[in-house]
Structure 1
Amino acid sequence: MNLDAELSALAVQEDLPADLVRRLLRHPQARRSVALLRRDLTEELTDELIRLGSARSLAANSSVPAQVRARLAQHPEPSVRAAVAASVEDEPSGLLDRLADDPDPSVRSFLAMNEHVPMELLARLAGDPEPSVRSSVIQYWRHAPEAVRRALLTDADPKIRRDAVSKYSPPADLLPVLLADTVTRSRAVRYVDPSPELAADPDSGVREAVAAHPKLPAELRDLPAGDPDVFVRNAIAARQDTPAALRENLVTTLTSDDPITEWVLSFRRPPHTCPPRAPAPPNLTREQAEDLLARAGL
């Protein structure tokens, strides 16, 4: 572990004496860790962190007292207000409403991901004039009522319609509309039974959706297995019900000169495991912490 990483780890160590925490504020990376992650920040330390330019990290720390976060909600920098909006509670009363009226759309977008926002306020954000705000609502409001879902599924913005059909199960009467829309067609396939027509659709995204469909019948599997698009074939190889021999044959065809494409292809197929998380560093004694700070010139 390099010196910067060691200092950042020390910055979040529980029960670290206040005088050592203060010394860490002189190191930019450790200061960000203090502002973002410590749960024992005093009013004096929060004032110092704001003065040193760590207001954004501090605003994202949910352990900071409510009065401090309410103060940061009025910060001139939108990124600071957005960090507050993501998780702040309505304290003092009316704070969430004020954030919903923030002139910067990034603040309203972050507010949409806040679990403390009431349904009526989320519904208001779902009709926000800025598409990025509506998109954030779709991403984080999984159980939106039907009226909100309908509005988003038929939104004038193509990206919003595509995001909405990816997240929400559409009402039956909207399915023909979504299947007829070139923007939403591939995402709407999951809600209908696969057919030979869909499996041979000109849009490779539609064919890939058919290949991944949980109700794909065995008699339709051979068509996407021979598809010219590598992602369609990969979707068949990734299915648990694909016979082992067919999967092995398909895998030999799933190659790309693009390393990113190669990674995406392999990621979608089992087995895929993420590397284990690095173990947390051990807590330092005061003597060890003093030695580390001295080596860093703090």
Structure 2
Amino acid sequence: MDLDSELGALAVQEGLPTPLVWRLLRHPVARRRAARLRRDLTEEQMEEIIALGSAGSLADNRWVPASIKSRLAEHPEPEVRCAAAASATDEPPGLLARLADDPEPLVRSFLAMNEHLPTELMTRLAEDPDSIVRSWLPQHCRNAPQAVRRALFTDTEPSVRQAAIAHWFPPLDLLPALLADPLTRVGAARRSPPSPELARDPDPRVRGAVAAHPELPAALRDLLAEDPDVLVRNEIACRADTPPVLRERLAATLTTEDPAEAFLLSHRNHRCPSPDPAPPALTHEEAEALLARAGL
């Protein structure tokens, strides 16, 4: 571990004496880590973090008191207001509504990530003039009311409809229109009961969506196992309910000269590596030695 990483790890160590925290705030990496993750920062330390230019990291910290968070929500730098918008509670009352009126669309987009967002503000963001703001709602607002969902499933902007179908199940009465729309047909195929029509769709992405459907009947599974598209066949090979004999036969056909297809095939079953274990807590003597090595 390099020196910056060691200092960053020390900056979030629990039970760290206050004098050591103060010294760590002089180091930019340690300061940002402490600002973002420490629960025990004093108001004086928070003021120092702001003065040293790490207000954005502090705005990420869910343990920052409402008085500080309210100040950060009015910070002149949009990235700081973005961080505050994503994590602030409505203290003082009306803070989230002020953020919903922020002139910077990205701030309003980050507000869509806020787990404290009330229904009335979801409704307001669903009517936001910027389509990027509207398209962020489906990804983050899993508890959005039906009125908000319907508004976004029928939005005039294709990217918003695509985001809605990617993250929410549509009302049944809207599904035919979403299937008929070329821009939402792939997403709608993932939400629709598998059918022979969809399994024979001219778009291989639609057929791939059917091949991955959890309720795929065996007859359609066998049909798609013969699909001319290698990525569709790969979806069938990856299914837990595909018979071993069929899976082995498909595996022999999963080759391509197309670099993009080869990349997708190699990552279809990709799993992120397990995170590295947290470094051991340093003793006071070890922490002093590390700070001395860093000139702090």
TM-score (norm 2): 0.94
Give the C-alpha shift of residue 261 in structure 1.
5.2
Give the equivalent residue in structure 2 for 1:207.
Answer: 207
Cα RMSD (Å) of the superposition? 1.8
Q: Which residues of 2 match residues 52-63 of structure 1 at below 5 A?
A: 52-63=52-63
- Describe the SS at the equivalent of 2:87: coil
Give the equivalent residue in structure 2 for 1:175.
Answer: 175
Give the equivalent residue in structure 2 for 1:121.
Answer: 121
Give the equivalent residue in structure 1 for 2:285.
Answer: 287
Unaligned runs of 5+ in 1: none
Q: Return closer, same or farther for 1:243/1:73 CA change in 2, 3 Å cut-off.
A: same
- Describe the SS at the equivalent of 2:35: helix
1:18 and 1:263 mapped to 2: Cα distance? 49
Q: Which residues of 2 match residues 1-298 of structure 1 at below 5 A?
A: 1-255=1-255, 262=262, 264-269=264-269, 273-298=271-296
Q: Deviations over 1:37-57 (max 9, x none)?
A: 111111111111111110000
Q: Deviations over 1:163-200 (max 9, x none)?
A: 11122222222222111100111111234332322212
1:146 and 1:213 mapped to 2: Cα distance? 24
Q: Deviations over 1:49-70 (max 9, x none)?
A: 1111100000001111111111
2:61 and 2:249 mapped to 1: Cα distance? 51
Contact 2:122 2:148 in 1 (8 A): no
Contact 2:231 2:261 in 1 (8 A): no
Q: Return closer, same or farther for 1:285/1:261 CA change in 2, 3 Å cut-off.
A: farther
Give the C-alpha shift of residue 34 in structure 1.
1.2
Unaligned runs of 5+ in 2: none
2:59 and 2:193 mapped to 1: Cα distance? 47
Give the C-alpha shift of residue 274 in structure 1.
3.8
1:30 and 1:257 mapped to 2: Cα distance? 47
Give the C-alpha shift of residue 215 in structure 1.
2.5
Q: Return closer, same or farther for 1:193/1:116 CA change in 2, 3 Å cut-off.
A: closer
Question: What number of residue pairs does the alignment pair up?
Answer: 296
Give the C-alpha shift of residue 249 in structure 1.
2.2
Give the C-alpha shift of residue 107 in structure 1.
0.9
- Describe the SS at the equivalent of 1:7: helix
Moved more, 272-281 or 160-169: 272-281
2:115 and 2:3 mapped to 1: Cα distance? 37
1:294 and 1:260 mapped to 2: Cα distance? 50
Give the C-alpha shift of residue 161 in structure 1.
0.8
Give the C-alpha shift of residue 273 in structure 1.
4.6
Q: Return closer, same or farther for 1:261/1:75 CA change in 2, 3 Å cut-off.
A: farther
TM-score (norm 1): 0.93
